[in-house]
Amino acid sequence: MDQIKIGKFIAKTRKEKDMTQKQLADALLISDKTVSKWECGKGLPEVSLMLPLCEVLDISVNDLLTGERVSDLDYKKKAEENMMNLMQENQRNKKNLTLSIICGIVTIVAVCSLVVIASYIEMHAAIRIALIVFAIVVAAIGVGAAGVLENDAGWWECPHCKAEFKASMKDYVKGYHTFTKRRLKCPECGKTSMCKHKIVRK
């Protein structure tokens, strides 16, 4: 999905309708910040908003996702492409999250085994220390890889302005987190809060 192109198209069709961002937002019962976010290419409308948005702008969902008015001739081809894009994005995000979880589990098992071996099996002190150092390295690499994969899967959603954004690895690492939320600063409204991790566009 070309968010920039889609954003420009939303702005263009809105202006053709002689509407301000606020008027469009009011028609959809959302904030004008959200409309501005779409038009700047910083996020796609939620799927539940796509139909009402298209109705107001007098375009088809296919036009919206393509970022231009699609001719009847191209219609089917573009519709299929758009559907595939959405599905591929979802699949890629799901795959990364799964990989991240597997990576985490493998790391825990590997580190625990190494620690057990180092603690209970007779061996030279130097080898024992080397094994423990190795366990620490495995833990660091495993946790790091799991983090990169998780942060790369999907996007984060600000609870205040509903902005969708990708977190930098630095912010990701710093943020206090639960299983599905992480404390991050929203690049749109600047508020720091527990942002939801979204994987799939429904």
Alpha-carbon distances of 184 from 22, 69, 174, 175, 178, rounded to whole Å = 27, 37, 9, 6, 12
Among 163, 167, 184, 195, binds Zn ion (CB under 5 A): 163
Token pair listed for 186: 């929203």
Q: Which of residues 41 and 144 has its CB atom nearest to Zn ion in the complex?
A: 41
Alpha-carbon distances of 193 from 37, 145, 174, 175, 196, rounded to whole Å = 19, 25, 13, 10, 9
Here's the x/- map for Zn ion, 112-151, by CB under 5 A: it reads as ----------------------------------------
C-beta of 188: minimal distance to Zn ion in Å?
A: 4
Helix (H) or strand (E) holding 185: strand 181-185
Verify binding: residue 161, Zn ion, rule CB under 5 A.
yes
C-beta of 21: minimal distance to Zn ion in Å?
A: 17
Verify binding: residue 160, Zn ion, rule CB under 5 A.
yes
Among 158, 167, 184, 195, binds Zn ion (CB under 5 A): 158
Question: Given the rule CB under 5 A, which residues bind Zn ion?
Answer: 158, 160-161, 163, 186, 188-189
